[in-house]
Amino acid sequence: MRFVVGTAGHIDHGKTALVKALTGVDTDRWEEEKRRGITIDLGFAPLPLGAGLEVSVVDVPGHEGFVRNMLAGATGIDVALLVIAADEGIMPQTEEHLAILELLGIPRGIPVVTKTDLVDQEWLALVVGEVTERLRRSVIQWRAPVPVSAQTGAGLDQLRAVLEDVGHEVLDRPEEDLFRLPIDRVFALPGAGTVVTGTTWSGSAAVGDFVHVLPLGRNVRVRSIEVHGKPAERALPGRRTALALVGVSKEELARGAVAVRGTGWRTTRRLDAQVEVLAHAARPLRGRTRVRVHLGTAEVLARVIQIGAVEPGTRAVARLVLESPLVARGGDRFVLRSFSPVTTIGGGVVLDPFPPARGKVRHRTLIAEQSAADRLRVLLREAGLGGLTAAELPVRLGLRPDELPAVLAATEAEHVGADGLLVAVTAVEQAIVRVRDDLARHHERNPLDSGMSLESIRSGLGENGRTTGVADLVLLAGVRSGAWEVDGGVARAPGWKPKLDARASAARSKVLHILKTARWEIPTTAELERQVNGGSSLGPLLALLAREGIVQQIDQERYGDPGALTEFRARIEALLGELGEATPAALRDRLGLTRKYLIPLLEWMDRRGITERHGDARRLLTPRTAGP
């Protein structure tokens, strides 16, 4: 059983002395801390309890000027030791630290009344009663207060016993989760290189593994691992851990960075969250307010947007627009502090670490109490044809990877897969309706056209679809549902056939007459349009005639009469059979055609594999045949 114990409480209430009495380790490391007699930064120590318990203790500063350091240490603890001096009782920083513990969702704690050697029993009873009464209103499961004296050792055995008892209630964090270690210290050691320390929040990493350091965005190798100064093969959750890293310098990292493993991790500059304002906050939290977000070991400035006023003692869903990148996971808890003057004003829980940039918070239906399946339904609906990757869901929903299959199974009727994406069935159904309506309009505007090209449909769906696979999924679903049919490279409404109105019929007759009369002196499409329609497009009509075999397309600019083309092919085959090969100039003299008409026809025969160029000449490529 591994868990982390963290201290909390007012300055000079004896937190560091208590940790030293319990562990034998003086967690004040800096000369300034010893000179001033106060804890400034985080301190760490192992606590031997026996009974199969591996306990790490995080000692935090109590001075109001170092609450940011306290927050960096309080995140990731399993059990809180709320330290209250017997000679002073509950003080302002006691209340702030208690609020922070509650906002961070610390599940259980032990109130410790210290310095009992400085007061008489009657006074001690009053303080213990005050602490008990105050903690009844707390959401944390607090044990009964334990009176101790770090000077005399009184009560320490009882505190160890309570810690051991509470420790057996703490659930081991599963190693199968994604690895995450928020970094709270960075330094360099000879022979080890860059070393980072922190509390392993989840998952595990082994010596030799590569971890991804964010927000730096670099993969680095774990050279070695230590737990409280002792070598270890693996970094396990619920432990204070030091990683020696290869591939990164000390100057590139700082408190607030995170080492992770597994897919789905990335930084974000937006969070949708359920925020809570403390009941004793001085004022409501309003939109556009600038705040300090403390998540993990990071402190990031942000603006709170898309909310009305959140009154003290209430909560609401809001978006936090971050001024610096942050690593977050669905379900993470955080603390909010005012920008200036700096005080703790509230906190919250991350509902979505990667909200859509254009989405409105008030239109979303995410709440903290939702099941993972319900949150997935919301995200799928919002993603539309863009879909979600299964790889991102453990981070976005705050799930262990081994929990994801059950959530996908619970929602399997509501999504389909394409190219590694999950796409909502409703999004596909809406896309089918949209494409069906587009087809109807296309047929109405282009009665001679055989339908819409599949590429055009894919392009129209591409604004919301991440991949061609999603568009093809919609196309196939539309065929299966009978919304359209596909023939070659086009889609059309079921049973649709091009229709010739009176004007198109007249144009058809003129086109066929002109092409038959022209024989080999084939006009371009533009020339045809000027002769037939006064310059209006004949493209759809010519394409229809070509599909029906009434005319034959020579190139992008020309359509010819099939009979005339058969004659031309036969004549060329005869000439080349006689001559072996011939230049365009020689063929021009034999046929009486100018290069304007001859070259397009020769290139048409080249493309059909009848002739081939040899230098400037043409020769037969295939045996002489009768038809085109």
CATH class of 502-560: mainly alpha
The model's pLDDT over 138-151, given as tens digits with 9 standing for 90+, comes to 999 999 999 999 99
Region 452-465: mean pLDDT is 79
Q: Report the percentage of the chain scoring pLDDT > 70.
A: 93
User: How many angstroms separate the CA atoms of 444 and 556, rounded?
Assistant: 25
90, 131 contact by CB (below 8 A): yes
Instruction: Find residue 347's DSSP bridge partners.
Output: 276, 335
Tens-place pLDDT, residues 574-618: 999 888 999 999 999 899 899 999 999 999 999 999 999 888 899
Instruction: Indicate if the pLDDT at residue 168 is higher than 80.
Output: yes
Per-residue pLDDT tens over the stretch 38-92: 444 577 788 888 767 888 888 876 555 546 677 777 778 899 999 999 999 999 8
pLDDT grade for 535, boundaries at 50, 70 and 90 = low
- What topology is assigned to 563-620 in CATH? Arc Repressor Mutant, subunit A (1.10.10)
Torsion over CA: 313, 316, 321, 324 (sign): positive
**Average pLDDT of the residues of the chain:** 88
312-361 pLDDT, tens per residue? Answer: 999 999 999 999 999 999 999 999 999 988 899 999 999 999 998 876 77
Instruction: Match 């005869």 to its residue by tokens.
Output: 574
In the predicted model, what is the mean pLDDT of residues 241-259?
Answer: 95
CA dist 347 and 337 (Å) reads 8
CATH topology identical between 502-560 and 563-620: yes
Class of domain 2-167: alpha beta
Packing angle of the helix pair 562-579, 595-607 (nearest 10 deg):
90
- CA 521 from chain centre, in angstroms, equals 61
Q: Is beta strand 79-85 parallel, antiparallel or unpaired with respect to 2-9?
A: parallel
Please name the residues in contact with 36: beta carbons below 8 A apart, sequence gap of 6 or more: none
How far is 89 from 465, CA to CA, in rounded Å?
A: 61
Domain ranges of the chain: 2-167, 180-260, 270-291+311-363, 370-499, 502-560, 563-620
Answer for the pair 576, 583: CB distance below 8 angstroms, yes or no: no
Q: What is the mean pLDDT of residues 204-211?
A: 96
Specify the CATH number for 180-260; select among 3.90.1150.10, 1.10.260.40, 2.40.30.10, 3.30.70.1900.
2.40.30.10
Band of the pLDDT at 33, cuts 50, 70, 90? very low
Q: Is the pLDDT of residue 223 over 50?
A: yes
Specify the pLDDT at position 418.
81
How is residue 202 annotated by DSSP?
A: B
Calculate helix-pair angle for 562-579, 502-518, nearest 10 degrees: 20
- Residue 393 burial by CB count (10 A; 0-12/13-18/19+): exposed, middle or buried? buried
Rounded Cα–Cα distance for residues 178 and 426 (Å): 31
Q: Nearest Cα to 182, choosing from 332, 372, 7, 399?
A: 332
**What pTM, to 2 d.p., does this model score?**
0.79
pLDDT, residue 466, reads 57
> What pLDDT sits at residue 623?
54
Give yes or no for residue 113 having a pLDDT over 50: yes
R_g of the chain, CA atoms, integer Å:
38
Question: In which element (H, E) is residue 9 found?
Answer: strand 2-9
